[in-house]
Amino acid sequence: MNDPAQDLVLVLEESRSLGFLGPGPVGPQIDHAQAFLESLANHARILDLGSGGGVPGLVLALALPAAEFVLLDSNQRRCAFLQSAIERLDIADRTQVVTGRAEELARDPELRGSFDSVVSRSFGPPAVTAECAIGFLSGPGSVLLISEPPQSDPGRWPEQGLQLLGLQLGARKTQEQATIQAFTMVTPCSEKYPRRVGIPTKRPLF
């Protein structure tokens, strides 16, 4: 009988060997990903923004068998690996891999406004991550969860900048050496966000 936890370790070790994950044991990376779980209870549809080598997306998809997942990444090699990984982990029936830029995919009718939550680890600077994520959220009450540096920086998420995107700063939780910052969508996403490819990085909103 297969052991899903061991299969996950083997998959992530392969991801690391391919250069899709950072060096070091995969155990702490799994622990880090699991820090998202507390905030995802009862979320039916979840998107991992910039899945990379599968953390946190693969870890969360395996841990939440009642949820549907989309793993998004712009790199074709990483996405090919992720497709193989979800088949090996037997979660392909409820986990989809999509390849492309978030700014464009957030305007895909099948993806825009269709997720209870978006999770992100190491996608980009604060303003870029928030803007690229916002178009995927389903509406007021949906949640964006971002892995953050452990030290608190009051200026990192300015209220005025978040208001442009319809987001409100939520709880900040640290566990298992991971810090997760939550944001709640309070007003529907404006049709102008995200802006076209590259603009969120060149001209960040905050």
**Per-residue confidence at 42, pLDDT binned at 50, 70, 90?**
very high
> Per-residue b/e over 123-147, b at no fewer than 16 CB within 10 Å?
bbebbbbbbbbbbbbbeeebbbbbb
Q: Beta strands 178-185 and 143-148: pairing type?
A: antiparallel
Is the model's pTM score more than 0.85? yes
For residues 123 and 50, is the Cβ–Cβ distance under 8 A?
yes
Rounded CA gap, 78 and 205, in Å? 29
Across residues 27-34, what is the average pLDDT? 95
- The model's pLDDT over 161-203, given as tens digits with 9 standing for 90+, comes to 999 999 999 999 998 789 999 999 999 999 999 999 999 999 9
Give residue 12's pLDDT.
Answer: 98
More confident residue, 102 or 175: 102
Q: Could you report how far apart the first and last alpha carbons of the chain are, in Å?
A: 51
pLDDT score at 1:
61
* CATH code assigned at 95: 3.40.50.150
CB 48 within 8 A of CB 119: yes
| Tens-digit pLDDT profile for residues 67-82 | 999 999 999 999 999 9
Element (H, E) at 103: helix 102-105
Q: What is the pLDDT of residues 110-153, one digit of tens each?
A: 999 999 999 999 999 999 999 999 999 999 999 999 999 999 89
Number of neighbouring beta carbons within 10 Å of residue 189: 23
Ramachandran assignment for 52, one of left (phi > 0), alpha (psi -120 to 50 degrees), beta (any other): left
Residue 45's domain comprises 4-202
The number of folded domains in the chain is 1
The continuous run of DSSP H or E covering 143 comes out as: strand 143-148
pLDDT at 152: 86
Averaged confidence pLDDT in the chain: 96
